Amino acid sequence: MEYVKLPKTKRGELTLKKICEAAEELFAQNGFYTTEISDITRKAGVATGTFYTYFPDKNSVFLYLMDDLGRKLRQEIKQAKLEKSPQSFIELERISARVYLSFVQRHWGIFHIVWQSMFMDVEVFKLYFERFSRGYIKEIKQAQESGEIHEIDPALLSFILMGTHQFVALKHYVFDGTEPDEAVIDQMVEFVARGLCKE
């Protein structure tokens, strides 16, 4: 689904980046409904007409942000796994947790954007999580086939694991205003290992 008219020049890419960064910050701080296009363009330092060069309306920039943040997060997780070459499901899970928490620290507005989208376009909200689930399911099935983890429904398990990441990040960044350290990741991984891995 296309929400944006992508630029063809470096200057256009920079302008789009400014608009998206401003929108991400404002949606996170003020919410979708109280943020106006004029607020976004003012913060981005561009003319209101420039906004419409890339987006037809406020809904489009919101949904594009959600799609773009999800894509960037999946790419960071994939790249980290390629670089580390993990040999077990638990090692994969440690990498996923570490990258997710790091990403949320840099893009804490992702919570607001993702969960607000449920009230705007439930299919987009659903697709956001299903894309992450697909990658998880593949890894879960491989770990089950090797005998590393128990035979639990892969789709259900993928959402259980995603929920763990989501709510640990929510507790630290939003509720407590703290940064989860490596000890927190150790506890997350220990929970997964004790609950899933065979002795």
Nearest to 139 by CA among 198, 60, 48, 78: 78
Yes or no: say if 93 and 151 are a contact pair by the CB < 8 Å rule.
no
Kindly report which listed range (14-23, 107-116, 147-156, 170-179) carries the lowest average pLDDT score: 107-116
Residue 102 gets the label, from left (phi > 0), alpha (psi -120 to 50) or beta, of: alpha
Q: Is the pLDDT of residue 147 over 90?
A: yes
pLDDT tens string 42-98: 999 999 999 999 999 999 999 999 999 999 999 999 999 999 888 899 999 999 999
pLDDT at 158: 96
Q: Which residue has the higher pLDDT, 49 or 120?
A: 49
Q: Which residue has the higher pLDDT, 166 or 112?
A: 166
Task: Indicate the average pLDDT of the chain.
Answer: 91
- Find the mean pLDDT for residues 112-133: 90
- Find the mean pLDDT for residues 126-131: 94
CATH number for the region 10-196 comes to 1.10.357.10
pLDDT at 198: 58
Yes or no: say if 98 and 77 are a contact pair by the CB < 8 Å rule.
no
H, E, C per residue of the chain: CCCCCCCCCHHHHHHHHHHHHHHHHHHHHHCCCCCCHHHHHHHHCCCHHHHHHHCCCHHHHHHHHHHHHHHHHHHHHHHHHHHHCCCCHHHHHHHHHHHHHHHHHHCCCHHHHHHHHCCCCHHHHHHHHHHHHHHHHHHHHHHHHCCCECCCCHHHHHHHHHHHHHHHHHHHHHHHCCCCCHHHHHHHHHHHHHHHECC
pLDDT at 197: 60
Would you say the C-alpha torsion 33, 173, 121, 14 has a positive or negative sign?
positive
Q: What are phi and psi for residue 8, nearest 5 degrees?
A: -110, 0
pLDDT at 174: 85
pLDDT at 196: 60
pTM comes to: 0.87
- Find the mean pLDDT for residues 130-153: 94
